[in-house]
């Protein structure tokens, strides 16, 4: 399992600090952005060097982060339009140290996206998965369908900014992607940022609570 450096791993690194990483270490796009903003540099070293006692390296931090993330299951599914990109994102999830629950589909044969959006939504709502990802050609239908599952806050994201905002402000727990509208590399960056961004809480918690209240009010009718 390759070590991963995320934005949260850099919280303990001082301004203009330096962290040691191995050539195999995966650094999320958000972590790179934060490092640039805070003047943090990455120094590449041999894997054995990161294990030295007292070396406050990102290699050590990333290894522990990867171990922690291995217990976090991401539910992922797609219809025929998102099948190929789903399989590629599963590779990235594995490389980043996440476990995943593949809920289909398993070919490019035509299927209906609501079935897979609901499956991921249910997995997240039940607690079988920490977060969920659904792909179809445009991502819109899957977002609408997933949001019909109580407890789900699905967000259609198309760049790093929307990925970060949906997690930080909205505490989104399902990500939907339009496989025919974005490139594989863009999807990879969106997913990396989305998984690495924590909910900010604070004033945003009050607003998310209101979203939950809307859901509860309509459930009673």
Q: What is the pLDDT of residue 7?
A: 77
Q: What is the pLDDT of residue 46?
A: 64
Nearest to 86 by CA among 158, 187, 193, 192: 187
Q: What is the pLDDT of residue 161?
A: 94
Domains by residue range for the chain, with CATH? 4-68 (no CATH), 71-196 (3.40.1400.10)
Which is more confident, 221 or 196?
196
| Confidence category of residue 56, pLDDT binned at 50, 70, 90 | very low
Encoding tokens for residue 3? 């070590």
pLDDT digits over 99-152, tens only?
999 999 999 999 999 999 999 999 999 999 999 999 999 999 999 999 999 999
Q: What is the pLDDT of residue 12?
A: 74
Instruction: Check 80, 169, 204, 218 and give the catalytic one.
Output: 169
Q: What residues does 177 pair with on adjacent strands?
A: 135
Q: What is the pLDDT of residue 67?
A: 35
> Rounded CA gap, 41 and 152, in Å?
38
Which is more confident, 76 or 20?
76
| Confidence category of residue 57, pLDDT binned at 50, 70, 90 | very low
68, pLDDT greater than 70: no
Which is more confident, 16 or 161?
161
Encoding tokens for residue 219? 């459930």
Q: What is the pLDDT of residue 49?
A: 46
pLDDT digits over 22-55, tens only?
767 778 777 888 888 888 888 877 655 444 333 3
Average pLDDT, the chain: 85
64, pLDDT greater than 50: no
Cα three-residue angle 40-99-190, rounded to 5 degrees = 50
Is residue 169 part of the annotated active site? The answer reads yes
92: buried, middle or exposed (CB in 10 Å: 19+, 13-18, 0-12)? middle
Q: What is the pLDDT of residue 41?
A: 86
If you average pLDDT over residues 55-81, what whole number do you get? 59
Q: What is the pLDDT of residue 61?
A: 38
Whole-number percent of the chain with pLDDT over 90: 62
Asked whether the whole model's pTM tops 0.85, one would answer no
Q: What is the pLDDT of residue 1?
A: 52
């Amino acid at each position: 399992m390759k070590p991963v450096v995320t934005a949260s791993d850099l919280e303990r690194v001082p301004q203009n600090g330096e962290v040691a990483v191995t050539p195999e270490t995966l650094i999320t796009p958000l972590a790179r952005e934060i490092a640039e903003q805070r003047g943090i540099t990455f120094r590449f070293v041999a894997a054995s060097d990161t294990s030295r006692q007292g070396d406050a390296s990102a290699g050590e931090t990333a290894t522990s982060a990867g171990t922690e993330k291995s217990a976090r299951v991401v539910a992922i599914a797609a219809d025929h339009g998102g099948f190929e990109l789903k399989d590629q994102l599963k590779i990235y999830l594995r490389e980043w140290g996440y476990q995943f629950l593949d809920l289909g589909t398993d070919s490019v044969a035509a299927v209906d996206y609501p079935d897979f959006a609901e499956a991921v939504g249910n997995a997240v709502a039940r607690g079988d998965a920490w977060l969920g990802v659904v792909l179809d050609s445009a991502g819109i239908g899957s977002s609408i369908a997933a949001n019909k599952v109580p407890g789900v806050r699905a967000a259609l994201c198309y760049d790093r900014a929307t990925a970060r905002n949906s997690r930080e402000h909205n505490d989104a727990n399902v990500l939907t992607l339009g496989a025919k509208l974005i490139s594989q590399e863009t999807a990879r960056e969106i997913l990396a940022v989305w998984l690495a961004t924590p909910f900010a809480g604070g004033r945003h918690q009050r607003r998310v609570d209101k979203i939950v209240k809307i859901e509860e009010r309509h459930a009673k009718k």
